[in-house]
Structure 1
Amino acid sequence: MDADPTEGSGPAADRGRSARTALRGTDAHSLGTVSTRSFRLTPDAYRRICGVALALLAVIVVTGAAVRLTGSGLGCSDWPTCEEDRFVPEADFHGWVEFGNRLLTGLVSVAVIGAVLGSMVRRPRRRDLEAWSWGLVAGVVAQVLLGGIVVLSHLNPWLVLGHFALSMVLVANAVLLHHRAGDHGRRDGPATARVRRLTVALVGLAMVVLATGTLVTGSGPHAGS
């Protein structure tokens, strides 16, 4: 049997081992290149993912309002299960309205995780999109925990206000992420001083209306409980 030139010692063996190592490195580099390219995401595709996340966050605001308007806030009196001894509600309208809203949170969670993962494989990669997508994940986690506290507190008006306010922050985050995902790295020109003042005033007024409306609904005779 012929001896393997890469076995043993000496110049010939060293050259053989070096060639084999270089070949393995080339193969690994080629595989890594193919793997990276196979998961590349275009800016337009990533923006569509952000659009789905934005749409679901808007829908869950509507379903949350439906929970309040139908008096289903305590349709599931426990958390994270619907009842102490049941994960899903019984054949009860209010229970399924509340539980349906919780199920939608699962879809929202998948969408925002998709936004984060998409930002990592988007090409060209942008750190600002990664940061805003992680903001959605943090907001959804906080929303889930706060929602549980709201239920366990039997719909404390102040906690309900915080729950709704956080939803508005999440929607604003998603709008900004969706907008930036489509700007291809360009930045809008500076707004005029008048536009900035009007924008601040409008946002402030909207916050007051949302806060007072939520408190009135939560503490009045039809508080959704």
Structure 2
Amino acid sequence: MKQDHYRLWVALTFALSLCVIALGAYTRLTEAGLGCPDWPGCYGFAGVPQNETQQALAASRFPDAPLEAGKAWNEMLHRYVAGTLGLMILALNILAWRKPSRPKGLPALLLATVIFQALLGMWTVTMVLMPVVVMAHLLGGFTTASLLFLLWLRLGRTPSHTSSAQSSSGLQAFALLGLLVVVGQIALGGWTAANYAAVVCTQLPLCEVDWQQGFDASAFALIQPEHDTYQYGVLDYQQRVTIHVTHRMGAMVTAGVLFVLACLLWRHRALRGVAVMMLLVLAGQIGLGITNIVASLPLSVAVAHNVTGVLLLLSLVAVNMQVYRMRLAGRYPNNVASRMGS
């Protein structure tokens, strides 16, 4: 496979990873995460039980988990597409080793990530939506998409930059800070969703209740007491308020950090494009977050909020790559391309 064709395969795999993220959000938001009480099948079948005989057998196998066909199909569709993504990432690794010039490290890391992501998918079901597992599963999906995007960028042409390494060293550190802040905010969002805290506050900018007096740090304990199921949440109201308000404050911090980063990027003509892209995605994400609050979490908006979250993360990946290349070009103006392709 030629290099351009390989990059196209990476792009298709990346596009599928975004579909998996959207389907995962839809599955969770429609309460279909336990649509099939077992894994990897559904009530002991490869697909959703269809006829009366299969449905009767499913009921005998899982008497405490009545079949809801719609939810079961949502869950199985997500599994089918995620499985296809895993096979495409496996193919990426095989193709990478067939040509010495292709990167080997990122495809291998992708394969390890998607295998662990499959385990998290299994634990999501077997541990009945334990919040820490649900959050980790979300982060795993975002990590997979980010690594695929990074691989796609590395396979592209390396642009030339005129800025010196010295002028961009501080910018590189701040770009990395922006990336870490966004990752932290995504984790907060995942924790908010996994604990069903998205709609406990309905007013802006923070919350209609006295959240300061009732702030409960135990809301962030990753290991929660064992329950028969964590569906619909197990934390009390004040704990959910604590999580929700923290997520909102995190959004404010994230917006501030990214705005400062955009101002720093704007000083470099070659980086203005990624700065504008990052701010546009940020503005869209803020708008979707506000809509979720005032409209009580509409399904389409909530799914879009998840997808835009990964797009914001990807914009920070692009920013860091561009800044890194600019600094590398300042240090090694004649050897950037060879270093980026390793």
TM-score over 0.5 for the pair = yes
For the aligned pair, the TM-score class normalised by the smaller chain equals 0.7 to 0.9
The answer to whether structure 1 residue 52 and structure 2 residue 42 are counterparts is no
Q: 2:190 is matched with which residue: 206, 210, 214?
A: 214
C-alpha separation in 2, matches of 1:116 and 1:55: 17
The count of corresponding residues between Structure 1 and Structure 2 is 179
Give the structure 1 partner of residue 89 of structure 2. Answer: 112
Give the structure 2 partner of residue 33 of structure 1. Answer: none
Q: 2:168 is matched with which residue: 178, 183, 192?
A: 192
Unaligned runs of 5+ in 1: 1-40
- Cα 1:97–1:207, aligned 2, differ >3 Å: closer, same or farther? same
Deviation string for 1:130-184 (max 9, x for gaps)? 221111111111111111011100000011111111112111111111111223x
Give the structure 2 partner of residue 126 of structure 1. Answer: 101
Structure 1 residue 214, shift from structure 2 partner: 1.0
- Cα 1:113–1:74, aligned 2, differ >3 Å: closer, same or farther? same
Report the 3-state secondary structure (helix = DSSP H, G, I; strand = E; otherwise coil) of the residue aligned with 1:47: helix
Report the 3-state secondary structure (helix = DSSP H, G, I; strand = E; otherwise coil) of the residue aligned with 2:139: helix
Give the structure 1 partner of residue 177 of structure 2. Answer: 201
C-alpha separation in 2, matches of 1:208 and 1:67: 23
Deviation string for 1:96-125 (max 9, x for gaps)? 000000000121022112211221233xx2
Unaligned runs of 5+ in 2: 51-68, 199-229, 233-342
Deviation string for 1:8-42 (max 9, x for gaps)? xxxxxxxxxxxxxxxxxxxxxxxxxxxxxxxxx22
Give the structure 1 partner of residue 154 of structure 2. Answer: 180
TM-score by length of 2: 0.49
Relative contact order, higher structure (CA 8 A, sep 6+):
1
Q: Bigger radius of gyration, 1 or 2?
A: 1
Q: 1:64 is matched with which residue: 18, 24, 43?
A: 24
- Cα 1:164–1:82, aligned 2, differ >3 Å: closer, same or farther? same
Which runs of at least 4 in structure 1 moved beyond 3 Å after TM superposition?
Answer: 186-191, 221-225
The RMSD of aligned alpha carbons is 2.2
Q: 1:171 is matched with which residue: 145, 169, 174?
A: 145
C-alpha separation in 1, matches of 2:119 and 2:74: 19
**Equivalent position amino acid for 1:148 in 2:** M
Structure 1 residue 224, shift from structure 2 partner: 6.0
Check conservation: 1:73, 1:98, Cα contact below 8 A: yes
Taking only the aligned residue pairs, the percentage that are identical comes to 23
**Equivalent position amino acid for 1:207 in 2:** V
Check conservation: 1:64, 1:101, Cα contact below 8 A: yes
Structure 1 residue 221, shift from structure 2 partner: 6.4
TM-score by length of 1: 0.72
Report the 3-state secondary structure (helix = DSSP H, G, I; strand = E; otherwise coil) of the residue aligned with 1:195: helix
Check conservation: 1:68, 1:224, Cα contact below 8 A: no
Give the structure 1 partner of residue 46 of structure 2. Answer: 87
